[in-house]
Structure 1
Amino acid sequence: MAAFARSAPCWVDVQLPDLEAGKRFYGELFGWTFRTGEGPYADAFSDGKLVAALAAKQDGRMPTAWGIYFATDDIAASVARIREAGGQVITEPVRAGRAGVLAQAADPGGAVFGLWQAGDREGFQKQNEPGSFCWTEVHTRRKDRVDPFYEKVFGFQGTDLEASGPDAARTGPDDSPPVGFRMWSPAGTEPGPDTAVGGRSVITDAFPAELPSYFLSYFAVEDCNRTAGNAVRLGGRISAPPFDIPYGRMAVLQDDQGAVFAVLQPPVSENGAE
């Protein structure tokens, strides 16, 4: 049995101008260790478990950004559904050695994501724990086209929330109220927060018109405030200062090369457990 259900987020990587600088930044921020492969990339490990990869950009025109990949057991069929649903295939399926097969695409709003059909590498070996991936969401201005796209391509079942989800508490720069948030649950599950694997947020007019649609991926941390402070100390920036949401305490950060990501400190229950 595959380690990841079909359409579940299974991998993240970041494209950086300076790979060694990225290793220093994330190594100190998250405590990651690295193993360099034959190509211009480095696998990242937390407690000895695979959590992400850092890659040196081969083309300066590529964005400095974190990318998210969704699991598929038939990448050709997934690519066909993307086209049928109005998306754009950026990179046709290509084999990554014995590790698996990948493709890249964009939804109707322009947000880029990846597909991963596992070979020897399933994806994350650790998630939802400090130092590892815990959530992703697409930010878009075209929810009326994007929502049915992901439901058709991945079979997601949506739950609309007015003030929930890891991004719902965020406001625009003018303190405008949060907009509706949609959580995605895999096909065959009961839709809701307990089964959600990702979500959709809306980019409102409070943000600059030139801001493109994008995926924001989250990493779990033990202390959100401390992590945000450490990011600045390491040369990064805080895009959204730490604040509380129903699912803990979060912040949106940039690394020292401009790649944006979020961190989430899970809430502590009354018995002290997260």
Structure 2
Amino acid sequence: MAVRLEGTPCWADATFDDVEAAKTFYGDVLGRTFGASSKSGGHLQAYADGKAVAAVVPTVPGQEGPSQWCLYLAVRDAAATAVRIGDNGGEPLMEPMRVGDFGTMRPARGPGGAVFGLWRAGIHEGFGATAVPGAYCWAEVFTRNPEKTDVFFSTVFSCRSKRLEGETDLRIHGLGERPVPGRMKMTEGFPPEVPPYVDVCFTVRDCDEAVTLATERGGILRFGPMDTPFVRFAALGDPQGANFSVIGITTTTGETPGTTDVARGARQDRHTARP
């Protein structure tokens, strides 16, 4: 597997009180299969066409609560990156934690309030596939402090940054030709109790079918499905509270999902859709 540039999205997981229910939900909606790993502290890896694409994790007893997807960014040294995060207005949230031989993780919060993870790879380098059904394809940092967030990502991870034209305040970050999470400003359409967050988007073959499957299985439709010049997408919540989005690949008319241009049309008016 090619070495990922520092700051590149490389993994996603979510903690669930009911892991079996999460496996059933995401297996049905995203077409994933699951396998356990005795070396990963209870993590159950999710697979798309045999490739590792995410994980579901059992909640630590006493820390039960709403689930949330976490996006991890590749780093060479979690401790050194944490120093840069702190120096640029962010906050490391715990000490680096080794996950068996898989690698080292560390959660952090940016100055705009959104939480993400750092991942220093061991034997597990991250996504085995992206932009295929069931796999990660895109992410956006939703924040009420866009200027601080833009400077933070550009400085900590040496990203280039470009604002896209349109009514929404959307900025794309990239490392060379590789997209890293975009940034969307949270407007008055967001209730004040909704905290900043990283929206993780997964690929599906058919957006409408995924929405139907999700709602039939207890999920919540937040927004969509919506057509854009590039993709058809929808924002969802799973039965245990984790928000995520799906991007269909059968209705694309522009570039394929997973490129920076996915966001060009796919996020118009979406900022009003969250609870």
TM-score using structure 2 length: 0.87
1:54 aligns with 2:56: yes
Match of 2:154 among 137, 151, 156: 151
Distance 1:103 1:27, change over 3 A: same
2: CA distance, partners of 1:28 / 1:219: 14
Superposed, 1:159-174 pairs within 5 Å as 159-163=162-166
2:183 maps to which residue?
Answer: 200
2:129 is the counterpart of 1:126: yes
Residue number in structure 2 paired with 1:27: 27
Aligned identity (percent) is: 39
Listed as ranges, the matches of 1:8-27 within 5 Å are 8-27=8-27
Is the contact between residue 221 and residue 264 of structure 1 (CA under 8 Å) also seen in structure 2?
Answer: yes
**How much has 1:17 moved relative to structure 2?**
1.3
Q: Distance in 2 between matches of 1:82 and 1:61?
A: 28
Which of the residues 66, 71, 81 maps onto 1:68?
A: 71
Counterpart residue number, 1:231: 214
Q: What are the Cα deviations for residues 216-238 of structure 1, in whole angstroms up to 9, with x where unaligned?
A: 00001111011111100111110
Which residue number corresponds to residue 195 of structure 2? Answer: 212
Residue identity opposite 1:5 in structure 2: L
Q: Deviations over 1:83-103 (max 9, x none)?
A: 000111102212111111111
Provide the residue aligned with 2:273 in structure 1. Answer: none
Shift of 1:60: 3.1
Distance verdict in 2 for CA 1:221–1:157, change over 3 Å: same
Q: Which stretch of structure 1 is more off in the superposition, 52-61 or 83-92? A: 52-61
User: Any gaps of 5 or more consecutive residues in structure 2?
Assistant: 258-275
Query: Measured at CA, do residues 62 and 145 of structure 1 come closer, stay the same or move farther in structure 2, by a change above 3 Å?
Result: farther
The DSSP-based 3-state class of the residue aligned with 2:179 is coil
- 1:136-161 superposed Cα distances (whole Å, 9 cap, x missing partner): 11000001211101111111111101
In the TM superposition, residue 37 of structure 1 has moved relative to its aligned partner by: 2.5
The one-letter amino acid paired with 2:81 is S
Post-superposition Cα deviations, 1:4-35, rounded to whole Å, max 9, x if no partner, equal 22210000001111101001111111121111
What is the CA-CA distance between 1:2 and the residue it aligns to? 4.3
Moved more, 236-245 or 29-38: 29-38
- Aligned with 2:111 (options 108, 119, 137): 108
TM-aligned CA deviation for residue 195 of structure 1: 4.0
- CA distance in structure 1 between the partners assigned to 2:190 and 2:253 by the alignment: 35
**Does 1:255 find its partner at 2:255?**
no
Higher mean Cα deviation, 125-134 or 259-268?
259-268
C-alpha distance in 2 between matches for 1:214 and 1:9: 15
Distance 2:143 2:221 in 1: 21
The TM-score normalised by the length of structure 1 is: 0.87
Alpha-carbon contact 2:231-2:253 (below 8 Å) kept: no
| Offset at residue 246 of structure 1 (A) | 3.5
Q: CA deviation at 1:63?
A: 4.1
Gaps of 5+ in 1: 164-177
**2:187 maps to 1:185:** no
Aligned residues: 252
Distance 1:15 1:211 in 2: 19
C-alpha separation between the residues in 2 aligned to 1:268 and 1:80? 41
Q: Counterpart of 1:206 in 2: which secondary structure?
A: coil
Question: 239-248 or 224-233: which moved more?
Answer: 239-248
Letter in 2 for 1:41: H
Are the aligned partners of 1:17 and 1:60 in contact in 2 as well (CA < 8 Å)? no
Match of 2:144 in 1: 141
